[in-house]
Amino acid sequence: MPQAILSLKNINKSFGPIDVLHDINLEVRAGEVLCLLGDNGAGKSTVIRLLSGVHKPTSGVMAMDGKPVSFANPREAADHGIATVHQFGGTFPLMSVGRSFFVGREPTKWVGPFKVYDRKLANDTAVKAVQSFGITRIDDGDRLVGGLSGGERQALAIARAVHFGARVLILDEPTAALGVKQASHVLRIVNEAKRRGLAVIFITHQVMHAMAVGDHFAVLIRGAIAADFRKGEKSREEITDLMAGGEQMAELEAEIESYMAAGEGHPEPAKHVH
């Protein structure tokens, strides 16, 4: 197996007296999707905040390409090629597609003695990058980000990270607010990022989304890794139970599904009697 791009060794994180993460060991490799699973409050976002330079570990070692690293701030993590995309894409609703793609790195051109923002180059580059991920509906770089759908915003943020050389792409619940069709677009983009050789860390509460893209799975329960397995090693039911903190959720889910199928989940609306 190739060397991990990013690894966590015996990582602990406390906030004052509160111990949030306990002895976390994880590895992510190029061309692989690691799904980080776990119930609310399990510690997933805290792991991501360590990797993206928001917090520092209390103890333990983070390494890139086998060499220990420490990030003083998110900028340093980004400089190491770690890109984090949050639920709503983290882009700017009042900016154009082209502007938001280049924010902080705007291309310029000379007009006589003046250096100005090269709108055409920015727009063309952004549209091309997004379209290369299969989102062909974005064909005008002047469109405002606020007018894009949730899935399109995710696509824009991911295309941007890849364009600027990210090696590790972290997605914290990218499909949580999306409908079925848009979520499947985002999952396709995750697969494309993986095909291009990025290491992807994907956080989700939806077991089907995890199973659709994951090569490797780690389940956090109360801040510790409770299970660590590869694609095909566990069933959907087992993963569902682990994600709920080890409770028997799969059974309950199947029960609810069968009620719904039998029509018992939808009681007749009460009739008004006049």
**Where along the sequence are the contacts to Mg ion (CB under 5 A)?**
44-45
- Out of Mg ion, ligand ATP, none, which partner does residue 29 contact, by CB within 5 to 8 A per kind? none
The smaller minimum CB distance to ligand ATP, of residues 14 and 191, is found at: 14
- In angstroms, what is the minimal distance from the CB of 242 to ligand ATP? 13
**By CB under 6 A, residue 89 contacts ligand ATP:** no
196 vs 238: CA distance, rounded Å: 30
75 vs 18: CA distance, rounded Å: 27
- Out of Mg ion, ligand ATP, none, which partner does residue 41 contact, by CB within 5 to 8 A per kind? ligand ATP
Which of 36-44, 134-142, 143-151, 190-198 is the region at the interface with ligand ATP (rule: CB under 6 A)? 36-44
Of positions 17, 40, 113, 195, contacts ligand ATP by CB under 6 A? 40
- In angstroms, what is the minimal distance from the CB of 80 to Mg ion? 22
Q: Which of 129, 76, 81, 132 is nearest to 102 (CA)?
A: 129
The two three-digit tokens of residue 241, written as one number: 């139970």
**By CB under 6 A, residue 92 contacts ligand ATP:** no
The smaller minimum CB distance to Mg ion, of residues 41 and 147, is found at: 41
- Out of Mg ion, ligand ATP, none, which partner does residue 20 contact, by CB within 5 to 8 A per kind? ligand ATP
The smaller minimum CB distance to ligand ATP, of residues 45 and 184, is found at: 45
Q: Is 226 in contact with 220 (CB distance < 8 Å)?
A: yes
- Out of Mg ion, ligand ATP, none, which partner does residue 40 contact, by CB within 5 to 8 A per kind? ligand ATP
**Phi-psi domain of 45 (left: phi exceeds 0; alpha: psi -120 through 50; beta: other):** alpha
- In angstroms, what is the minimal distance from the CB of 118 to ligand ATP? 39
Which of 13-21, 59-67, 112-120, 235-243 is the region at the interface with ligand ATP (rule: CB under 6 A)? 13-21
Residues engaged in binding ligand ATP (CB under 6 A): 15, 18, 20, 38, 40-46
